[in-house]
Amino acid sequence: MPVEPRHSDELLIALRSDESEDDPRRPLTHDRPQVHLAGTPRALEEFGKYLIALARLQSSDGDLHDHLEDVQNDDGGTVHLIVRRVMPT
């Protein structure tokens, strides 16, 4: 598994409603959600390196995935982000 990206605590995820221009922060219901990924320049660069390393990792694991548990949630607290590599069918 690639090394967890440095500065992942400087990444931020927000889930928003894509259908409501009046209030994009309204709770998600049946709308198509937006997923916002933001971060400091160094956090985004490290996350990019991490994703490339995950894509190139030599492994026969059919369920290759990793957990990042310190990503910030825009609504407060943290998000448990699971990054999963799937093979094309």
Instruction: State the DSSP code for 28.
Output: P
Domain ranges of the chain: 8-84
pLDDT of residue 64: 92
pTM of the entire structure?
0.79
Q: pLDDT tens digits for 22-74?
A: 665 666 565 677 889 999 999 999 999 999 999 999 998 889 999 999 999 99
Task: Quickly count: other Cβ atoms within 10 Å of residue 72's Cβ.
Answer: 19
Q: Are 47 and 5 in contact (CB under 8 A)?
A: yes
Quickly state the pLDDT bin for 21 (edges 50, 70, 90): low
